Amino acid sequence: MSKPTILTGIRANNDLHIGNYFGAMLPLIDMAKHHSDEYDVNLFIPDLHSFTTPIDHSQLFASIMNNARVYTAAGLPLDNDSINLYRQSYIPAHSELTILLNNFTGFGEMSRMTQFKDKSGKLGDGQISVGLFDYPVLMAADILLYNATYVPVGDDQTQHLEITRDIAERMNSKFGELFTIPEPVAKQHEFFGKDQGLRIKDLVDPSKKMSKSDDTGRGVIFLGDDPEAARKKIMSATTDDKASVAYDKEHQPGISNLIDILALLRGVSPQAVAAEYQGMERYGEFKSIVADSVAEFLTDFQSRLATVDDAAILAKLERSERAVSEIANATLLRVQKAVGLRAQ
């Protein structure tokens, strides 16, 4: 890879939902297509990150492959050699570089990570793993192995990007120019745009974002949902007692969330949807419109997913894994020599 690198990924465990699809996956694919002439784009499946919180291990391998299938059904071009699609665990350098970087990362630095505090606070003591604590170092290895300059990050990942930069600068200061330091968060937002897509909220509790880790699934529209089941979820969505369809996230978060969903499905702005249905007093009527659109989207998407060529996907994965392994192994060897594990 002679071009600079953009790197990003979406975790493989659990079924993806429409928030993942419209808020992350489609923008990533559009970004990859747009930048592949000037950049090598690494869209990786971070399957090692799947272990940081409790999962059903019997479903992980199927989830990994489904992740790749969904990318393909969403429009990822498999014939573009500047766009790499690969599985993190198939590149052993990710794990080995993490072990090395751990020894140049402070316990205090990891303890201050907001995501660790938030996620560990939701788990019992027996469920908080060292892997969850060490997640940012593995993410640093993911980035630094490929000399990635740009890494699109949401607000919940900005700390992890900054600790990646800190680790790289620390190593470079001690051992020479080992790593390309990714651009800071402000430059990342300047390059990709601050808003990487609307955050769809939970249908039952619109104060929180839709999450694929939701235990009940009642407030989440999964890509694998039966269209009729999804329709019922929309019809049961929490709204309010104002009896007026309006885009007001503070005072009418539930109805505003449904407006966001319809806007994404139609490819228009929420303001345009709100203007179209301004003054509609019967929420059931508006919910039915949104429910029909969601069911139609799922029917179409699932039809495309069913026609995806698994052999072509596997060939793309293996081709990309061979290509990125060369870069990752070269970076790892450079670090191994610097720290004294290999002869200079």
On the question of pLDDT at 1 being above 50, the answer is no
| Domain boundaries defined on the chain | 5-198+309-339, 227-305
Of 49-58, 118-127, 174-183, 239-248, give the lowest mean pLDDT range: 118-127
* Over residues 219-241, mean pLDDT: 96
- DSSP per residue, 238-291: ---SS------TTT-HHHHHHHHHHHHHHTS-HHHHHHHTTT---HHHHHHHHH
Domain 227-305: CATH class, spelled out = mainly alpha
Please, are residues 60 and 14 in contact by the beta-carbon 8 Å criterion? no
Residue that wins the pLDDT comparison between 121 and 204: 204
On the question of pLDDT at 195 being above 60, the answer is no
Please, are residues 119 and 110 in contact by the beta-carbon 8 Å criterion? no
* Over residues 161-168, mean pLDDT: 96
Positive or negative: CA dihedral 31, 34, 40, 45: positive
* Over residues 195-211, mean pLDDT: 82
Please, are residues 29 and 21 in contact by the beta-carbon 8 Å criterion? no
Task: Kindly report, residue by residue over 14-63, the tens digit of the pLDDT.
Answer: 678 998 899 888 988 999 999 999 999 999 999 998 888 778 888 889 98
* Percent of the chain's residues with pLDDT above 70: 96
* Over residues 197-203, mean pLDDT: 81
* Whether the domain at 5-198+309-339 and the domain at 227-305 fall into the same CATH topology: no
Count other Cβ atoms within 10 Å, centred on residue 136: 23
pTM of the model: 0.88
Domain 5-198+309-339: CATH class, spelled out = alpha beta
Q: How many Å apart are CA 177 and CA 144, to the nearest integer?
A: 12
Q: How many Å apart are CA 255 and CA 130, to the nearest integer?
A: 40
Most confident among 74-78, 131-135, 150-154 (mean pLDDT): 74-78
Task: Kindly report, residue by residue over 250-268, the tens digit of the pLDDT.
Answer: 999 999 999 999 999 999 9
Give catalytic residues, as residue numbers: 119, 209, 212
- Of the candidates 301, 274, 300, the one whose C-alpha atom is nearest the C-alpha of residue 286 is 274
